[in-house]
Amino acid sequence: MASENDRAVLNSIFNPHLPLGSDEVPDIDECDAAEGEDETSEVVKEAKRLEILGVRAAEGGDINTAMEYFSQAIDVAPDRASGYNNRAQALRLKGDVQGALTDLNKAIELSQAKGKAACQAFTQRGLIRRLEGQNELALEDFKKAADLGSAFAKSQVVQMNPYAAMCNKMLAEVMTKLKNGESVE
């Protein structure tokens, strides 16, 4: 039987875009929990309630209503980063990339680049920057999100590393040859 280390090596070969040691598909929402937020505050409870309504509206395809709820959550708790993260996602879905980036920057500022809200904001901003062809800035954001606990961001860091990509390609070619009974030179 293969040891746990052997299984980890095989997993990294067959799933080269996953972080080393990971057995599962990365989750974009996997970030360390926020610190210091008063969960019992009536203001925070109301902002969360509005955000939940916004998420439900977005999931139902009503982005305009979702935007209204997220904006209300921000009005109720303007110093809470989560509302900006959620509104940024809705803005991006509406095609307002600049508006989304503005909200993500605000979320990072409010969270002081710490906790779950910052992790999600860095991840979202990294995705937008990558789609915009700003790979160096995207990589910086993914590294920050990875440091905050995002397995998805870690996978993006690995995927964007040109040396890792080259090694993964070569290793995949060797494994394919071995699997097909061909000689490896």
* 144 within domain boundaries: yes
* 130 within domain boundaries: yes
**For residues 160 and 153, what is the distance between their CA atoms, to the nearest angstrom?**
10
Percentage of the chain surpassing pLDDT 70? 77
Tokens of 129: 């920057």
* 35 within domain boundaries: yes
Tokens of 57: 């509206």
Number of domains in the chain: 1
* 165 within domain boundaries: no
Is the Cα torsion angle 107, 112, 117, 118 positive or negative in sign? Answer: positive
Please give the residue range of the domain that contains residue 66: 30-159
- pLDDT, mean over the chain: 82
What lies within 8 Å, CB to CB, of 126 at 6+ separation is 138, 139, 140, 141, 142, 145, 153, 156
**Higher pLDDT residue, 90 or 22?**
90
Provide the whole-model pTM.
Answer: 0.70
* 119 within domain boundaries: yes
Please write the tens of the pLDDT for every residue from 92-126: 999 999 999 999 999 999 999 999 999 999 999 99
Segment 147-158 shows an average pLDDT of 90
**For residues 32 and 55, what is the distance between their CA atoms, to the nearest angstrom?**
21
**For residues 59 and 142, what is the distance between their CA atoms, to the nearest angstrom?**
25
What lies within 8 Å, CB to CB, of 159 at 6+ separation is 17, 165
* 139 within domain boundaries: yes
Segment 114-139 shows an average pLDDT of 94
Q: Which range among 10-14, 28-32, 178-182 has the greatest average pLDDT?
A: 178-182
Burial class (CB in 10 A: 0-12, 13-18, 19+), 105: middle
Segment 52-69 shows an average pLDDT of 93
The answer to whether residues 79 and 110 touch, using CB atoms and an 8 Å cutoff, is yes
* 179 within domain boundaries: no
| 3-class DSSP state of 125 | helix
DSSP conformation class of 26: -
User: Residue 4 pLDDT more than 50?
Assistant: yes
With cut-offs at 50, 70 and 90, classify the pLDDT of residue 69: very high
**Higher pLDDT residue, 18 or 163?**
163
* 5 within domain boundaries: no
With cut-offs at 50, 70 and 90, classify the pLDDT of residue 5: low
Residue 101 is part of a domain; what is its CATH number? 1.25.40.10
Secondary-structure percent of the chain, ordered helix, strand, coil, rounded to 5 = 70, 0, 30
pLDDT of 15 reads 46
